Structure formats: C-alpha cells, structure tokens
Amino acid sequence: MLNETNDAFLGNGDIEGILTELAVIRTNIVSELAMSQQRLDEVHANNRESARNLLHYMALRRNDLRSLQLRLAKLGLSSLGRAESHVLATVDAVLDVLHCMGRYDWHHSSEEVPVMDFLHGERLLTEHTDALFGASTTGKVRIMVTMPSEAADDYLIVYNLLEQGMDCMRINCAHDNAASWARMIEHLKRAELSLGRSCRVVMDLAGPKLRTGPLEPGPMVIRIFPTRDVYGHVTAPAKIWLTSEHFPHLPPAPASACLPVPSTWLGNLCVGERVTFTDAREDKRVLNVVEVTEHGCWAEATKTAYIVPGIILTNECAGSFDEQEGRVGALPSVDNFISLQQGDLLILTRDLKPGCQATYGKDGELLTPAVIGCTIPEVFDDVRVGESIWFDDGKIGGVIEKVEKERVLVRITQDHLKPMKLRADKGINLPESNLHLSAMTDKDIEDLSFIAQHADIVALSFVNSAQDVELLQQYLRNLGGRQLAIVLKIETRQGFENLPDILLTAMRAPCCGVMIARGDLAVECGFERMAEVQEEILWFCEAAHIPVIWATQVLETLAQKGLPSRAEITDAAMGRRAECVMLNKGPYVLSALQVLDNILRRMQAHYAKKCSMLRELHVAHLFPYGFDR
C-alpha cells in the first residue's frame, strides 16, 4: 500500500532519480576520507571521529542540495537539513527508506567507512563543550564575561558576576598588564571558594591589530558652559576647579573644567571675590569664587567661555597689581581628528609621525591631503591598487588608489550625510588584501608565558591560516607544562575562507573551540553578509563537534547604557545556537548577565542548534476557548 501511494504521487522513476543522485553524493562523501587520510592521522584521538564527520560535511556541502531537499520533503523524508553532527548516518537513513519505497535492494558494508549514529554526534559535541568550558548539569549555554580593568582592584565585581552565572572569565591581553591579570584571577579563585562554583579563565592574545597612528595634538582649549533649560535659562552654573600649576590637585568632585594657575595668585583668592577675564572669543567673562580649600578653589560661571593657555585672570579685590593678575597655565589638548567625506584623498604612511588634516587654499583648492600613519607598516608590501580599505570598525570606507614605497594613497568612497571623523588608534581592515602577517606578535609571545601558567584557555586573535594555529601550538609545546585548550577567533575573511583547514589543524590538540568575533568579521566580509557567514561557521563547527562562542556586541547597549534594544534581545536569543555567549564589559554588565542568562534559559526549551524543539505552547491551549468570541 505504501509503495502504491508513492507510485501515485511521485512515481518510481522519480524515486530512482533521487536514489541515483543521493548515491553519487554518498560515494563522494566516502571517497573524501581516502583523499584526506593523512590529515586524519594527524588529528588527536579525541577528535578523530569528529574530523571524519567534518570531511563528510565538506563533501556534502560541495553540492547544491536545494532541489533534492524539496523532492525528499514531498516524500515526507529528511531533507538533510540537520545532518551536521552525523552526516553519513543521515544520508544512509534516507537511502534506506528510499530503497524500501522503490522496492530496491541495497547493501553497504559497515566496514567500508565508520558511520557515526545520530546520538553519538550530539554526545561528542556535549563532551567537547564540557571539556572546554567545564561540566554542566543543565546543558545551558555558557556565558563568558570580559573583565574590566577595575576587576583587578575590586573583588566584588568578580564575585557578583560569578554569583549571577558567569561560566568563563575573559581577560583581554590587549589591555592592562600581568600584575592586573594576576589580581583578577586571584579574585576569581577567592570567589569560587566562597560560592562553591567553578569558572574557566580565558585569555585573549592581542594579535596584530592594524590601527591608525597618532595625530598632531589638537588645540589647547577648554569650553565651559552652564546648564540651561529648553528656553536657554541657566539652571546650574558651570563649576571650575582652580589649582596650582606647580603642585596640581585633581578636583575633589566633578568639575566643568580644571584650570592651572600660579600658586601665589591662587593663595590670595577668597570666597565671594570676582575673577574677570577675556576669553578666546574676546568676550568678557566672570568667575565667582564660592569655596576655598587647602588644595584649590571652586569658582562658578553663568556664561559660556572658551579658555586657552595664557589668558589673564584678574582678581578685582586683590591689593597690588601683581596680586591681581594670574595667567592660565598649560591645558590638555583637544582630541584631534581628520575630517573625511566621499571623494577625499587620505595618505597612509609607513612611519608613525603624527598625522594631520588636509589643508586648503583661500579658493578651496586642496593644498595637501590628510595624512595618518599605520601601526603595522609591513602591510604596505601586500596591498594592491583597487583593493578596499576600512577604518574605525567599518565607519569609513575607501579604495587604494596608489601604492608607493613609503605611503599608500586612499580615495574615500563611502558616502555620509556629514564628514566622518577619523581619530588616532582606530582599526584598519583590508578584507581584499592577502596579508602576510604572523598571528602572533612579540607581545603575544611574551604574554603567552603568563597565560600558560594561569589560564585554562588561550584565544588566538586574527587567525588567517592553519599555519597560524601551528605556530601557537609550537610555542605552547616549547613552554611545556599543562596543555591549554585553544580558542580560534575567526575575525578576518581569510580566516573564514580557510576555516575547514584551520579546524583540522586545531583538532591535533585534544581540546579546542571557535569564537565568532563579529566585530572585525562584519567589516571584513561585509555587514550584509554577516548573518550568512556566522551561520556557515556554526555549521562547520557543529560538523566538527567543536563548541562555538557567540561574541561581539551581545546586549551592548544594555551593558553600556542600562537598556537593551529590541534587536539585541533577538540577537542574544540567537546565541542559543552556540555553546557559549560572550558579554563585553560595561557599567551595567551585571544586569546584562542576568538578562542574558534568563533569555538563554527560556530559549533552551525551543532550540537545539538549528533544530526547533516542539515544546508544548501555552498559547495553543487558548484557542478557541481562551478568547472572547
């Protein structure tokens, strides 16, 4: 009866066609192992089955399966859409049913190639996740939290994060120093003992981050202004801290400005006195002295003023002329920037000589283009004319117009409603360039000694190739001692395109993981491709039974400002597809941790990787009786 029904709706000829197509795919999957046997032999015994399944998955995904999926779905069969963790078992299960439906005989030797069953693949991923992040009785997605610098001196920061569910402490070696890192880890150990919880320590190597060089100092000017209401009426004066220029003291409370002045002149000020001056715009202004302390004086202003070094402050109540006048000393420079808009020319230089703005003649003619340095000048040897370049996390885009020995000329191509500001120490991305940079810098090698002694996991930044992984593995072997787990941060286009090769190399060690570092990766691959790219990384890692960390800007506005966006909540829920979700630091990171933990627990009943779990739904019980009709 079953076969008669199938013959009516699909026809044995169609079943035969599907069988033929799927059999060819299976043959290619099996032959993949023979071609890659040497790579399999290099993989650690813990990962050999997983590496075999990864090779199966690569062979499967070399085909466009969309038409085949639809035809299988019409038969009520698996469309191969959940094959990642057990590829050959899925294909064989479909082939078995198809042969039965078509009344065909099919025998394949179990010795031909080992077949991983459905549950075993999932068990391997769970085991590898527990090995990397620590065992979990609930199966909840782990949460990793980046430590702020303050965690080195504030035990309660670490204690509260661990109490609220932090599973991994992340220390970014691009910030702070070994002494601070050691104190953070000591705080964690103390909190673990107090709470009876365990937490893994993850330390990120900084890697070769391309950044813009310094800029010429901006002008030394301070703008002070009172608080005004919507009508422009002053509701609170500006508070100015006057301190000795020779023995300066920080203001004891928040101040609108801090002005260094001569000690003798400062010592003659009294409460209630008026200090007059002419500001940088030639406007007459007044400061009223409201408090005198041992280390300085507080004054208030009710009008906006621009103050520069050398401005003369006059104490109208002082006796002699010398006591009346005091000059404002050196002030901090304003943070400088280069203003860029579509069509502008920007020169990147090999040296780190301070850069500067473009200059123009009276008629608006360009005299000299804007100039800025690059922190890793070696990239100049790898870039080519016509390749794209991005600055400041993709905010400013351009194309390389000319490559010279000591400089690269960039034409800004990205259009904005108003000019964009490029500052010093901002990231540079060259997604189309074949860069020959080592994944490890001299600083990374130095930091690795500390990491090997104190961390559980080392994260390798800007992984581009299998050779980068081999380099880290070699340095770890040279250090000896316990074997650290490795997390590979995929944040470049090269790293993404070389992912299968990178994974197989990482699997030579007993324990490894992958971080989807979506910040640089979005710039490298294009923001519009980010969703597609992160899906592919998740699929390849699931096929290799390698745990994934979902990172970058998770609940970012909640951690920074105290209130998440709607889109961020959805993004955090998507983190359930990974084995760990990373939070970055921020004033409200504890709230972000609580919200994230809640979201992940709720989604646990609905999703397992990309498979929807059909949990009973409360809303379904409301129809039709739960509504007023």
Taking the C-alpha atoms of residue 60 and residue 592, their distance in angstroms, rounded to an integer, is 39
Taking the C-alpha atoms of residue 74 and residue 16, their distance in angstroms, rounded to an integer, is 15
Cross-strand partners of 274? 288
Residues 459 and 578 grouped into a single domain: yes
Note the pLDDT tens digit of each residue in 261-310: 999 999 999 999 999 999 999 999 999 999 999 999 999 999 999 999 99
- pLDDT at residue 472 above 80? yes
Residues 516 and 565 grouped into a single domain: yes
- pLDDT at residue 373 above 70? yes
- 443 is a domain residue: no
Q: Which of 520, 556, 521 is nearest to 535 (CA)?
A: 521
Query: For residue 602, what pLDDT band results from cuts at 50, 70 and 90?
Result: confident
Residue length, the chain?
629
- 198 is a domain residue: yes
Query: For residue 60, what pLDDT band results from cuts at 50, 70 and 90?
Result: very high
pLDDT of residue 629: 46
Mean pLDDT of 424-449: 93
Residues 107 and 132 grouped into a single domain: no
Q: Which of 499, 510, 591 is nearest to 538 (CA)?
A: 499
- 423 is a domain residue: yes
Domain count, the chain: 4
Residues 240 and 366 grouped into a single domain: no
pLDDT of residue 109: 54
Using DSSP's 3-state secondary structure scheme, residue 558 falls into helix
- Count other C-beta atoms under 10 Å from residue 156's C-beta: 12
Residues 357 and 388 grouped into a single domain: yes
- 215 is a domain residue: no
Residues 6+ apart with CB under 8 A from 230: none
Residues 298 and 343 grouped into a single domain: no
Residues 460 and 564 grouped into a single domain: yes
Residue type at 6 in one-letter notation: N
Note the pLDDT tens digit of each residue in 173-195: 999 999 999 999 999 999 999 99
Residues 100 and 8 grouped into a single domain: yes
Residue type at 106 in one-letter notation: W
Taking the C-alpha atoms of residue 238 and residue 149, their distance in angstroms, rounded to an integer, is 31
Note the pLDDT tens digit of each residue in 307-334: 999 999 999 776 665 668 899 999 998 8
- Please indicate whether residue 111 or residue 345 has the higher confidence score (pLDDT): 345
Domain that holds residue 260: 222-327
Q: What is the CATH number of the domain that holds 367?
A: 2.40.33.10
pLDDT of residue 286: 95
- 627 is a domain residue: no
Q: What is the CATH number of the domain that holds 314?
A: 2.40.33
Residues 226 and 360 grouped into a single domain: no
Asked if residues 211 and 428 have their Cβ atoms less than 8 Å apart, the reply is: yes
Taking the C-alpha atoms of residue 54 and residue 500, their distance in angstroms, rounded to an integer, is 8
- 561 is a domain residue: yes
Among residues 274, 300, 327, the one where a domain terminates is 327
- Please indicate whether residue 581 or residue 628 has the higher confidence score (pLDDT): 581
How far is C-alpha 440 from the geometric centre of its chain's CA atoms? Answer: 18
- 370 is a domain residue: yes
Taking the C-alpha atoms of residue 522 and residue 524, their distance in angstroms, rounded to an integer, is 5
Helix axes 442-454, 178-195, angle to 10 degrees: 20
Residues 456 and 577 grouped into a single domain: yes
Residues 6+ apart with CB under 8 A from 7: none
- 563 is a domain residue: yes
Residues 485 and 602 grouped into a single domain: yes
Q: What is the pTM of this model?
A: 0.84
pLDDT of residue 14: 82
Note the pLDDT tens digit of each residue in 133-170: 998 867 789 999 999 999 999 999 999 999 999 999 99
